[in-house]
Amino acid sequence: MDESVKMATDAINWINAQGTNRWFLWFAPKTAHSPYDKPPNNLHSYDLLPFNRPDFIPEKPYFHAAIEAFDTELHRVLTNVNLAETMVVFMTDNGTPGEVIQPPYDTNHCKGSLTEGGTRVPLIFAGAGVVGTNRTSDAVIHAVDLFATLLDLAGVNLTNTLPTNLVFDSRSFAAVVRDEPWDPSENVILMENFGTIIPTPYWGVAARGQRYKVVQLDDGTQTFYDLQVDPYETTNLLGSPISTNNLTVAQRAAYSGLTNRLAGWHNPPVRPVITKWETQSVALTVPEQLGIIYKLFGAITVDSTNWLEVTNFVREVKTNAPEVRLSRPSPAGSAGFYRVGGIGR
């Protein structure tokens, strides 16, 4: 059975089993991920494609067939939902993979990148609680905002419910769903790119406002775009070499605001992490901080004024915890100390 068919069937059976009880369903098929196999013919219109893709046939038709098959099964799920009583939210998690990307995007503006082609995705609300039909919004919204929004739409008082000792990045945009005025206190969203499955040239951070966007890669590359006139990010307004001299007054103000937001979101350690070492290997673990590149320094005494940067160490970002591990297998020299420092990237 096709994966999307099985998941849709399981979802429908679960929904029907709820009866009159209130319910929440997270329906997340992974259809249209590689390797791209052909779904059953009754789910799409690409009947003539071989089931096992030959090398001479590109992956794109199989990707399209998988997307159409998912549409078919999503429609089957929605026909079993009473939209008068149920709110439906549709969103994807990232842009299109590079091997099946199509114009106006290219392989540098796809899944895994900080470009609009990699980060801008569909977000659709329908059903109960949604005011107005066939309308769109240009509100700047991040995926993390769904947390607060769904609670808000469910009638939860966020101020009285969320713990006061924790910082929540999520902002409710329930007003947009209700077709009411929405004036968020922060109309800039942050994006970060890192991890073992992301090519290191794409690692970095980005800040996007209503019109402008700044991308700062770890390799030092910085780009600045006017998305209103250049939605596909083809023209870096900073030029090469990077300079703000050619920016208009409005562009310079936007650039300054976005770069200040990036700097404000950086959260370097308040105190250095210091550990004593002898001649054995050493490993330090520090909290992962957004936008910070950690460096390792060594000295003979803890109160030394001559801390030297260590270059032969290994930096590992843990995938199961927000931590960075810095290790040096075989430190040389006599007894001394290590400390960790960070610089904004």
Beta carbons within 10 angstroms of residue 113's beta carbon: 25
**Residue 61, helix vs strand vs coil:** helix
How much is the pLDDT for 174?
A: 96
Return the percent helix, strand and coil in the chain, to nearest 5. 25, 20, 55
**Residue 14, helix vs strand vs coil:** helix
Q: Enumerate residue ranges in the chain where pLDDT < 70.
A: 1, 266-281, 288-293, 317-322, 329-336, 341-345
Q: 282, 325, 276: which is closest to 301 by C-alpha?
A: 276
Q: Is 191 exposed, middle or buried (0-12, 13-18, 19+ CB in 10 A)?
A: middle
Residue type, 338: Y
Single pTM value for the model: 0.74
Cβ atoms of 173 and 159 within 8 Å: the answer is no
Tell me the chain's radius of gyration from C-alpha atoms.
25
**Residue 232, helix vs strand vs coil:** coil
Q: How far apart are CA 128 and CA 146, in angstroms?
A: 16
Digit-coded pLDDT (tens) for 158-186: 889 988 887 788 999 999 999 999 988 77
Instruction: Report long-range pairs for 161-165 (Cβ below 8 Å, ≥24 apart).
Output: none
Residue type, 42: N
How much is the pLDDT for 115?
A: 94
**Residue 151, helix vs strand vs coil:** helix
Please provide residue 19's backbone torsions phi and psi, each rounded to the nearest 5 degrees: 60, -125
Cβ atoms of 238 and 244 within 8 Å: the answer is yes
Q: How far apart are CA 265 and CA 259, in angstroms?
A: 10
Question: DSSP secondary-structure letter at 228?
Answer: T
How much is the pLDDT for 345?
A: 42
- The tokens of 257 are what? 């605001």
